[in-house]
Chain A
């Protein structure tokens, strides 16, 4: 199985901060990466697909980049509603998720 390793596992940030989450794949997966946001008690929500495509209805402060084995999700200016856990997921092979990155209020 392809392993997806996210870093950091958690971070504290303030409203307005620029936040970057990294996901590393155990082998090259070109750009077969998706990103999801999950708030407590809620289902995950798709943010980015195919590494850099913004899902319809998702705020433009979210962006994704990367190719090969290293991928990033960036929130350009953190808003109160963005405090959540974020997961990467690869769709190159049998699907696997990263372990999650919890974004907390500083």
Chain B
């Protein structure tokens, strides 16, 4: 079965650190850019971070820049999110997301076609 499974969430105090992992099965991660998207309790979706296929290019939302680090290990079919200096507003379910691309003449469209079930991160003061 093609799926993504996140792990590593939990309860952490303000200022603490946590490392999330995402394991892919049923397909090889090394052909896809990957992302993290989060959702605070009762709120909408918020984009967090992205990493290119070979890990050479990364992107972070302003709200996490300088505190979070995305990485991947294609040999292990895994994606990671190292979170430091955690704040209460980082409390959310974090989803690991696979990107796919539609290529047509003169354009390419990317979208999120596979989501993990998510892992809950709770930052308490």
Contact = CB atoms under 8 A, between A and B. Distances in A.
B109 A43 contact: no
B47 A100 contact: no
A31 B104 CA distance: 13
B45 A43 contact: no
> Which bucket holds chain B's interface residue count?
10 to 19
Contacts, number: 53
Contact of A97 (B45, B115, B117): B45
B1 interface: no
* Interface SS, B side: strand
Interface residues of A, number: 25
Interface centre among A42, A44, A98, A99 (most CB of B within 10 A): A44
Interface of A: 30-32, 34, 36, 38, 42-46, 49-50, 53, 55, 87, 89, 91, 94-100
Interface of B: 44-47, 59, 61, 95, 100, 102, 107, 109-113, 115-118
